[in-house]
């Protein structure tokens, strides 16, 4: 497998196709497919009508009636990603249903078996992950139009009206805004290798510009996502069965494993983009303590394998931080610190969002509904199952401590 590395002969760095990184949308899946082949209509019909089926109380019965379908006709990466998204939506809906604490602890074999086989093929876990609901869950309304919120939609919805559309699309637009920085990585490695400070400085400032655009994209969340709907409805369908008191043993995948399995829900920590910049800039999240570092490492296993490979390839590249520290002039060190500050700004903003969308709504919950078995038993937890405020503060603090010059 090729890496973002250079052979001594050519001394060139490039991002090869097998990393599944697109020129325009970065880690997102470019132009995802929208329909499965006709043989899989039974899955599509449920996925396309989830909110109505949940509301009328028919969802679980419809899932239990599904025929056992083979995944053999799902050929090609894009089709497999669409099927993983569809089965992820169906699984979340089946487990959480109306989100009122009536939880199913066994996933029926007619869904569990094809879902687990497909997951194994893709190297993803059998749960709805960020790579599904954000990276592969979008389309343009006008194919020739721009990549803007107004010209985009999601493929599948949970209950909660447009809340899911807002949450998933704004997350995607943050990814896409930051994607232009990925293209700069080979230039950075080449500049370090050739000790070219001017090129490195310009490339680092390009990353700063991309991260600032990502922060601007993040601002759109206030316009499109309602905090009460997010906390009381959408968050439940994104919750997993790891570190979750409602499924403390995990979920039993009938016909696949004899014992329940624990998987974390979809979370921004599963996005490759921000882990990618930590690695590139030599920000050691392990310095913030074992739990944050372990969680981030665990979240890598929820990313598509091609993206995990890309992160590993950056880890094996030359150290940008060491070069800037040992050989960098004042301007280069300043450019490096601008990158770190841009990451700190994004992480500070993420903390504000979590406060608005999780912490404050949790405080507004009536006391009797705060029991651990209710849907708000995870009030200070992110969908990935972490104590989200502590985790994000730790990650931000570690990022801040990576500044070469304080202030």
Residues of the binding site for heme b: 350
- 228-300-310-342 Cα dihedral, nearest 10 degrees: 50
User: Three-class SS of residue 352?
Assistant: helix
Per-residue buried b or exposed e for 165-186, using 16+ beta carbons within 10 Å of the residue's own CB: bbbbbbbbbbbbbbbbbbbbbb
Binding site as annotated, residues: 350
The CA–CA distances, whole Å, from 79 to 34, 65, 76, 165, 291 equal 9, 24, 6, 21, 36
Nearest of 96, 121, 117 to residue 241 by alpha carbon: 96
Nearest of 123, 22, 47 to residue 81 by alpha carbon: 123
Reading the block at residue 213, the tokens are 């655009």
- Long-range contacts of 351-357, Cβ-Cβ distance < 8 Å, separation of 24 or more: 351/389, 351/392, 351/393, 351/396, 353/218, 353/221, 354/382, 354/388, 354/389, 354/392, 355/389, 356/227, 357/225, 357/227, 357/230, 357/231
Residues paired with residue 140 on neighbouring β-strands, in sequence order: 152
The vertex-212 CA angle with 187 and 382, nearest 5°, equals 105
Terminal CA-CA length for the chain: 42
DSSP 229: H
Residues in the chain: 407
């Amino acid at each position: 497998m090729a890496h973002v590395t250079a052979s001594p002969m050519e001394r060139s760095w490039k991002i090869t196709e097998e990393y599944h990184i697109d020129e325009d949308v970065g880690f997102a899946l470019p132009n995802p497919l929208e329909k499965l082949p006709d043989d899989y209509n039974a899955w599509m019909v449920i996925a396309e009508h989830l909110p109505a089926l949940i509301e009328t109380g028919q969802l679980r019965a419809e899932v239990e009636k599904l025929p056992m379908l083979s995944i053999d006709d799902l050929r090609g990466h894009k089709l497999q990603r669409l099927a993983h998204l569809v089965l992820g939506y169906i699984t979340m809906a089946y487990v959480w249903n109306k989100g009122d604490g009536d939880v199913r602890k066994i996933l029926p074999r007619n869904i569990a078996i094809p879902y687990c086989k497909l997951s194994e093929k893709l190297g993803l876990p059998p749960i709805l992950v960020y790579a599904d609901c954000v990276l592969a869950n979008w389309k343009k309304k006008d194919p020739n139009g721009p990549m803007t919120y107004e010209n985009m939609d999601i493929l599948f919805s949970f209950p909660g009206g447009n809340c899911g559309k807002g949450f998933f699309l704004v997350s995607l637009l943050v990814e896409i805004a930051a994607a232009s920085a990925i293209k700069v990585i080979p230039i950075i490695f080449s500049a370090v290798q050739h000790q070219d400070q001017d090129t490195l400085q310009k490339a680092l400032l390009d990353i700063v510009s991309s991260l600032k655009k990502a922060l601007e994209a993040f601002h759109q969340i206030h316009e499109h996502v309602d905090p009460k709907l997010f906390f009381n409805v959408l968050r439940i369908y994104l919750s997993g069965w790891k570190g979750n008191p409602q499924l403390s043993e995990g979920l039993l995948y009938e016909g696949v494993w004899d014992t329940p399995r624990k998987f974390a829900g979809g979370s921004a920590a599963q996005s490759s983009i921000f882990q990618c910049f930590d690695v590139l800039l030599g920000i050691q999240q392990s310095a913030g303590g074992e739990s944050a570092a372990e969680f981030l490492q665990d979240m890598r296993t929820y990313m598509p394998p091609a993206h995990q490979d890309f992160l590993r390839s950056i880890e094996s590249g030359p150290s940008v931080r060491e070069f800037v520290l040992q050989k960098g002039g004042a301007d280069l060190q300043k450019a490096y610190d601008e990158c770190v500050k841009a990451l700190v700004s994004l992480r500070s903003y993420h903390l504000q969002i979590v406060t608005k969308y999780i912490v404050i709504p949790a405080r507004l919950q009536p006391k009797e509904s705060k029991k651990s078995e209710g849907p708000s038993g995870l009030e200070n937890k992110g969908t990935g199952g972490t104590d989200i405020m502590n985790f994000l503060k730790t990650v931000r603090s570690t990022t801040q401590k990576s500044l070469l010059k304080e202030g």
